[in-house]
Amino acid sequence: MTSPVSPPQQHRIAVIGGGPAGLMAAETLLAAGVQVEVFDAMPSPGRKFLLAGVGGMNITHSEPQADFYRRYGPREAQLAPMLDAFNADALRSWVHGLGIDTFVGSSGKVFPREMKAAPLLRAWLARLREAGMQLHVRHRWQGWLPDGRLRFGTPDGEVLQAADAVILALGGGSWAKLGSDGRWLPLLSEKGVDTLPLAPSNCGFERPWSEHFASKFAGHALKGVTVHFADACGQPSQRRGEFVITATGVEGNLIYAYSAAIRDAIARDGQATITLDLLPDRSPARLLAELQRGRGAASLANHLRKQCALDGVKAGLLRELLDKDSFNDMASLAQAIKALPLTLHAARPIDEAISTAGGVRFEAMDEHGMLKALPGVFCAGEMLDWEAPTGGYLLTACFASGRAAATGALQWLSSNKP
């Protein structure tokens, strides 16, 4: 990777956080000839990145750029310049440069050929070390001394570090055991940095099930269903996919796609109701005709299974949510199958979420990613106030924002440091 900025001479930059954003910042800085020291609180870097690759590393997405950018919702305008400079195609080429082949799946998601994060991270760290990166693990950032030196807690006591510029890439607040615990938030707030509380994103939601339903169907997936939901402006949308019943509610990709809107609706109204079409391939008229066929001595459960292939967790959910009269009235049952209201009451705890919203507001930074309250300090990655669905969008923006923060730091050093 070539540097986008002429190299400042003899400058030392501290990158705090060894995830994708921090390591991409380090690579950009090293290409400019800057001395880079990366500090991470965990025993090894990239722990959440590795976890994301356990079930199949989804590195980015191949959809058209306009659709891709819209995934970032209210923060599309702020992230677009970063993504313009390092987009999905550039990220894929970068992965190839590490000797890792990629392919596009049937959904448009882009995966490393081996479907794992570990080979990519090993190759990347080896290249960074060869380029001169100094990595310090078990160094938890604890703020600054009055003279500007960085404070780190280590197993051997406090370590102090001076730097000409600092890039913070500390992650969000989910999966604290992997290092993303949000403990940096008060350190910045007390310095006058404009922040928002962290909130769960790409998360599950709570719904109090009956003991019978939870014990029988927790862990079962509702496949081939469509969710209908209206956003805060009343704009309706729908999406088809699958999600999972849990002991406490629901989770899974189809729920994650609406998690921001559901979370915000609960914060506003105390609850949020999504509407499910359990059989989206059947028209209401066809479904009603199938249900009204005579069933003779067959049970209603067998009638549903034979006439419209509805059984298992879908049938169980209908029984859970409908009263007895509605379940036994074919017109009411047909209507419920096509438009079943499911009310959710709370997001699951933040530490269970895939990602988080909130953090450092973009308005707290200048156009180069530098904190207005702290000259020479830049921010990148999930600690910024943005969110996106799963599918490669989270990682792509983390990589792009890390590169943007490093570019901003280089420009600032060129203009402000001898």
pLDDT range class, residue 418, cuts 50, 70, 90: low
Q: Domain range holding 246?
A: 205-347
Q: Is residue 4 part of a domain?
A: no
State whether 45 and 69 are in the same domain.
yes
Q: Let me know whether 30 and 152 are in one domain.
A: yes
Please indicate, yes or no, if residue 375 is contained in any of the structural domains.
yes
Whole-structure pTM over 0.95, yes or no? no
Contact between 409 and 167 (Cβ < 8 Å): yes
Q: Do 337 and 309 fall within a single domain? A: yes
Quick: pLDDT tens for 72-91.
Answer: 999 999 999 999 999 999 99
Residue at which a domain ends, from 347, 364, 390: 347
Residue 13: closest CA among 415, 368, 405: 405
Kindly write down the DSSP assignment for every residue of 230-254, as one continuous string: E-TT--EEEEEEEEEE-SSEEESHH
**CATH number reported for the structural domain that contains residue 51 in this entry:** 3.50.50.60
Q: How far is CA 287 from CA 108, 130, 282, 283, in A?
A: 32, 64, 6, 6
Q: How many structural domains is the chain composed of?
A: 2
- What is the pLDDT averaged over residues 65-74? 94
Query: In this predicted model, what pLDDT tens digit does every residue of 154-190 receive, in sequence order?
Result: 999 999 999 999 999 999 999 889 989 999 999 999 9
Q: In the prediction, which pLDDT does 6 show?
A: 47
Clarify whether residues 265 and 376 are in a common domain.
no
The pLDDT assigned to 294 comes to: 83
pLDDT in tens, 198-232: 999 999 999 999 999 999 999 999 999 999 998 76
